[in-house]
Amino acid sequence: MSAKFWGNLNKGCISYSDKRANGTDKVHYLEGSHVVELAKCEFRVAPAGHLRAVKVREVVARIHAEAWAVMPSDYCLADYENDPQWREVSYNPKERPSQDHFATRSGERVDTAERAVIITDPSINNKAKVKAFIRTN
């Protein structure tokens, strides 16, 4: 997997690196309103990092994807929140310290997905201003 995506708590946006596209692991930022479609995803949380992140804010969770694309501006958060084929996934060690993995709102563990999206928008009510969804079928 070459591309890595995560919510940036300091900048309130999506951070990503894609060694295949850029030849380097340099971090890039998608600020404002963006929907990024991801394919063949792995949702990873570093075990030792989770133990630290429960106490100190630190990036330990990333979505790795084999392919990705920024969607046209007519895609928005509501398209995914209101579609039953998409389920929100999250990782938050402060709110759920015993959850050392990504999970759906109902608590179902998520390690992989064929399709996912990561969305950033100033209206999102969390520190990173980012939400992620997986396609269920």
Residue showing tokens 């404002």: 32
Whole-angstrom Cα distance, residue 95 to residue 126?
12
Q: What is the pLDDT of residues 14-65, one digit of tens each?
A: 999 988 766 677 899 999 999 999 999 999 987 665 445 545 555 568 899 9
Contacts of 4 (CB under 8 A, 6+ apart): 16, 17, 18, 62, 63, 64, 65
End-to-end CA distance of the chain: 22
pLDDT of residue 50: 44
pLDDT of residue 59: 57
* Both tokens assigned to 41: 């995803």
pLDDT of residue 56: 53
DSSP state of 127: T
Q: Domain tally for the chain? A: 1
Q: What is the pLDDT of residues 61-118, one digit of tens each?
A: 889 999 999 987 788 888 999 999 999 999 877 777 787 889 998 899 999 999 999 9
- 36 touches 30 (CB < 8 A): yes
Whole-angstrom Cα distance, residue 42 to residue 33?
23
Return the closest-CA partner of residue 49 out of 37, 57, 41: 57
Domain that holds residue 52: 3-135
